[in-house]
Each structure stands twice: as C-alpha cells, then as structure tokens.
A and B are shown apart, each in its own frame.
With several copies, the nearest count.
Chain A
Amino acid sequence: MTEAKHTDHINLYETHEWKHSTQVAGVTWKNPVGTASGTFQYAAVRWFYDVSQLGAVSTKGCSPVPWEGNPSPRTAEGPASNINAVGLQNPGVDHYLVDDLPKLKKAGATVVANVAGHCDDDYAAVVAKLADSDADMLEINVSCPNVTHGGMSVGTDPVALAKLMDKLRPMTDKPMIIKLTPNVTDITVPARAAVEHGADALSMINTLLGMRINIRTGEPIIANTTGGVSGPAVLPMGLVAVYRTRTVLPDIPIIGIGGVDSGEKALEYLYAGANAVEVGAAALFDPVAPLRVARELDDLLDDRPELAAKLAAGETWR
C-alpha cells in the first residue's frame, strides 16, 4: 500500500521555471509558497536547496536585543504534530541586519522579516531598524504562545493590537503583515483590528497551545510545561481561520499557514481565500518540504487557470 508519489519524478535540484506567481500586498512572490518563521534558518537550509527558489522566506522572530528563549527540553511530539516552546530565542535585530538578511538578499530570496517583542517598544525598536533595510516585507508576530509578555498576549487582545499597530504603522512604508494566533474564539476580531489600524496583510495561523506528559514521570515533557502545536494535525484549524477571515475581510491579502506539507494542502488554503501559504513544521521532518510543496502546487495550478490568474493579479479565489 506504499504510495507512488506525485513528485517521485521531480528533481528538486534542477532549477525550475515557475509557472504561477502570486502577489502579497504588492510584493511579487515567484510562487505562492514560502517558509514559515522559526522553521527556516538560512545557515541550515542553504545546504539543501537554493533558497531563492521559494516564493518567500519568513525568517525567525527578531527582537531588539538577543533573546535566550526557554530552557530545554523545548519540544515534544503530538499525534501528527510538533509541539515547540522555543520562546523566540534569536540573536537580535543587529545580528540579523549584518548576517541573515544580507546573505538571503545576496542569494536572491524574497525576505519576510518576522518581528518579535515583549512590549510595544520592543516591536517598535525592531521595526525602526528594519524600516530602511533590504527586507521585502515585515511580519509582526503577535501570536507566539511561548512568551509571557508580548506575542500572543497582544494577538488575543484587539485593543492592545490596535495600539501596537498605531505605533508601528507610521514607522515604515514596508508592507506590514500581522501574524495572528488561533488561540482565540473568533480570529476575525483581531484580524479586523489589525486591518483597520493599517495592516497590509495577515498571516495565520501561529501555533495552537498544547502539551504532552511523560507517563513514566507524570510530568510535562517540555520544560516550559506548554508549547505551540503545529504540523499536519493543525490543518483544519488553519483553513478555518483563513476562510472565516476572508469572509469578513474580502480584500486583505492573507498568507495561510498551518499543516501544509503538500501541494494539495497548499491548494486548500488558496481555495479558502489565501494569496499564498507558508510551510512550517513539515520542514523539520524533511528539509526540502517547502520547495517540494511549491513544485507540486506549481503543477496543480496548471489545471486551475482561473485560480492561477487571480493569484498572479493579487486577487484571491473568494
């Protein structure tokens, strides 16, 4: 019962002429598939494939100063999922500006710089430094479940989110994506708040709060107790977030994230109303997953000229 893979014949190392591009808030992605923040490091991935082949790369959440993140163990496995509690460890924006960003731009990548903060001033400090950088887009992470301040505490509170947006929006003309959390009753509420206060695009979903327990010790596996769930298991929750947001906000560009590990699943997001998708946890299990998804989707779009034309024009299926 072993499956003959759609992509068995694809040589991912051969350069590919992309047939179907997309537009996200005026930025052209050469295909609709990017990497999700936190699951892509240039230094690690460049060994596996030419990163400029992707629609875009969303880099690891970047803070004003280096952050050390949470203690280890930081991860556990859920059924068909990863649970992570990194806590936004990163070397800080100054390092990003001299290291990752120039290297990625030199390699020819379309770069989405993901921004992290513990408070509004943190976010502002990072955005200030990225405002004149070579980053193509900014993605404000108000949805991390693994930090006690900032992150999800902003994304679940439309008032706090509006306040943050009012602070960040005037600071830059760069397209600003707000990344939302599914850990809310109705994701359209923060979505509206973000858009009404100047967001150029939305990305969703970040991880769902979850945990595992070691039945030998009776204690949580992750040192920080809880973490964020991502990977195949979260697909239905990601799709519903995009679909419902598209229903109430017909014009805002949306990047669909959550459980994408094949071209077919990417296509579901596009039909749900997304302009593009990002691949996260799948890249942990298979380094080339984002590129494979992009190649599979490129072929699937051949048979869907109406959808492909809409995407290329910056429009969406619904």
Chain B
Amino acid sequence: MSATFTPTYDVVNEAVAAGFFPPRHPADVTDVTELTPGVIRLTFRDPYIAEHARPAQFVNIFTDDPLMPMPRPFGVSETHDGEVSVIFAVVGKGTAGFARLEAGDTIQVLGPLGRPFNTKTAAHYVLVAGGLGVPPLIYTAQHLADDPATRTTAVFGYRNEHFADKFVEPYADATVSIDESEGNVITLLDHLEAEGGLTVDGLDTVILSCGPLPMMKAVAAWAAERDLACQLSMEQRMGCGYGTCVLCTVDTVDGRLKVCADGPVFTREQLGWGK
C-alpha cells in the first residue's frame, strides 16, 4: 500500500534498450539461507543486475515498511543464470526484515551501483576481506575465475565461523582464512609473504580489500610498506546510492568524495592511507 513506483520488467527492458538505467524495480526472491547465526545469503532473480554487476558494485535493497524508506546497500556476492546473491549481517530493523524473507517474496532493488574494482590488468589479485567485507571479494574471485591473465588468492578474516570459505574456494586459485582466536588478515598476509605466496606466476601483486575500517587501514599500510597497489571498498551511510545527494562521503586527498558514485572503491593513495 506504499506509493512506490514499481515498473514492470518490460519497462525496465525498454528503458535499457533506450539507453536508460533501470529504476528501482521489483525482483523475486529465490533463496534465503542462514550461513551462520545472524548472517544471511539472499538470492533474487534479476537478469539485468546479474549480467551487468562488476566486482565491488552494490545493490540498494528497500524494505517494505514505508517508515524505513532509505536504501540498504549490499555488495553483490555471486551471480548465476540471472540470479544475484548478497550476504548480509542482521544489524538493524531493515536487515532483520530481509532475514525474514522467503523464496517467492518480492523485494525492491536498484542497481548495480558504484565503481567496481579495477581488475583490468594482468595481476595476482589478493582478495583481503574481513567479516561482512567478504561478499564483494567472493564476487571478484568469481569474476576473475575464468580470466587466464589473472590469479586470485582469497585472504579472509572472520570473527568466529569461517562461513564464506566455501563460496570463494570454487573461484579463487588459493584460499586462506583465519578467525579472531588465531589472529587477523595481517597475520595471514605476513604468512603468505613468508611462504612466497604473494608472487604468483611472476604477476604483479594487487591487493583488493573490504572490511572494517581498522582492518582496511592496516591492509593499506601493509601494502604501502611493500609498495603494492591496493584498492579498498568503502562503506558509508547513504541517501540515494546513485550519486545525487552527496550524503555518503569519505575523506580523500582530493576532498570529500561520494562512496556511492566516486567509490565504493578507492586506492590507498586516494585515501591517503599507509604513506
């Protein structure tokens, strides 16, 4: 009973054919799985997003409660045959609502949004993620899995249960993970370096990272010490998600930039981290 515009898929298709980007639109939920208590994988059917999403791009998902009109952004974690998955933690009322969704329900989505990781160069991409930063790096691994010019090593840190290893393993060339009882991703990176796992097939090493702020700062510093390229996917409270409101800024050396449209991906140089 809300006043939201819900175009049919035809409208979206026509729009795309006309060169426009699909607006907020409905999508059918096809699966909801709890991966570990409070962490959910939500899959919905959305051929447009599945076809176009790039690593670190995100989708805005909307609640069905008009008291909560603002978008909830989530990084794409996998796509398959016209379906899109996100993995999220239940942190507030919006995500609590999404956790109660069931296959057959409908959600409203907008996307894919944001600037992806730059993975154009032939390189060994080290995918460093912590906690709920794993989804975009799973998707990066999926995206690069069939690219003969690249190699990927997933380096995942968890609070306790290693809930995402099984999703990234099929795509990454190597996967290592750790939880708080043993250390953190820096522990893993040090270990990887010590074992010579940082260099693969003579390729340049590029760090791609997403996770809690302190972790990302540590990763950037670690990369800077070794003079490695490092791209980081940032998080910020958003208003629109598509670049119209300037509500989602992050401080960079070039001033305050939009996480949603200038990012979410920034280089460590842009963020001025680890110099």
Contacts and interface: CB of A to CB of B under 8 A. Distances in A.
Contacts of B244: 39-41, 44-45, 283-284, 287
B11 interface: yes
A76 B8 contact: no
B250 interface: yes
A80 B70 CA distance: 9
Contact of A72 (B14, B101, B237): B237
Which size bracket describes the interface of A in this complex?
35 or more
A96 interface: no
Given A1-B97, A44-B240, A72 B248 contact: yes
Interface stretch (A4-12, A136-144, A177-185, A242-250): A4-12
A5 B3 CA distance: 7
Contact of B14 (A11, A60, A68): A11
Interface in A50-106: 60, 66, 68-69, 71-77, 79-82, 84, 86, 89-90
B76 to A, nearest CB: 18
A248 to B, nearest CB: 28
Which size bracket describes the interface of B in this complex?
35 or more
Interface SS majority for chain B: loop
Given A41-B244, A48-B23, A82-B239, A8 B8 contact: yes
30 contacts: A1-B1, A1-B63, A2-B1, A38-B245, A44-B244, A45-B244, A48-B242, A60-B246, A69-B246, A69-B249, A69-B256, A72-B236, A72-B248, A72-B249, A74-B239, A74-B246, A74-B247, A75-B238, A75-B248, A77-B70, A82-B69, A82-B70, A86-B245, A221-B237, A262-B3, A284-B71, A284-B245, A285-B24, A285-B62, A287-B24
Given A77-B69, A81-B69, A285-B4, 9 more contacts: A2-B1, A72-B237, A73-B236, A75-B239, A77-B70, A231-B69, A283-B240, A283-B244, A286-B24
Interface of B: 1-8, 11, 14-15, 18, 20-21, 23-24, 62-64, 66-71, 96-98, 100-101, 105, 110, 236-240, 242-251, 255-256, 261
